C-alpha cells in the first residue's frame, strides 16, 4: 500500500531535506502528488449523509464512511 499526499513544492523540498538528514531515509511507501485535490467524502457526489450520524452512505463503494474520510474514486460535487 502506498500513501499519496498532495502538497506544495516548498513542503515537498522540506520533507526531502528532513529525511535526507534522518538515518531512516525517505519512506518507500510515501508518494507526493502535486495538483491532485484530495476530496473528502462530505464533498463527494457519491456520498449521502445519514440523519443523526457522522456517517453517510457511499453509493459507489457501498460502505458507510464519515464525511472526513476520502478515497481515490471521489468525484467532487458541482455547485448547482
The distance between the two most distant Cα atoms of the chain, rounded to a whole number of Å, is 51
Q: Are 42 and 67 in contact (CB under 8 A)?
A: yes
Residue 80 pLDDT more than 80? no
pLDDT greater at residue 3 or residue 55:
55
Q: For 65, which DSSP code?
A: -
How far apart are alpha carbons 66 and 77 in whole angstroms?
Answer: 16
Rounded to a whole number of angstroms, the CA Rg of the chain reads 16
pLDDT of residue 42: 92
Number of compact structural domains in the chain:
2
pTM of the model: 0.54
Same-domain pairing of 43 and 74:
yes
One domain, residues 80 and 44: yes
Q: Are residues 11 and 21 in the same domain?
A: yes
30 and 56 housed in the same domain? no
Distance between CA atoms of residues 66 and 69, nearest Å: 6
Amino acid at each position: 500500500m502506498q500513501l499519496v499526499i498532495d502538497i506544495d513544492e516548498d513542503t515537498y523540498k522540506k520533507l526531502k531535506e528532513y529525511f535526507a538528514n534522518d538515518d531512516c531515509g525517505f519512506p518507500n511507501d510515501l508518494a507526493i502528488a502535486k495538483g491532485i485535490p484530495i476530496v473528502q467524502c462530505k464533498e463527494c457526489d457519491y456520498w449521502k449523509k445519514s440523519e443523526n450520524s457522522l456517517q453517510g452512505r457511499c453509493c459507489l463503494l457501498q460502505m458507510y464512511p464519515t464525511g472526513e474520510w476520502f478515497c481515490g474514486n471521489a468525484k467532487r460535487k458541482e455547485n448547482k
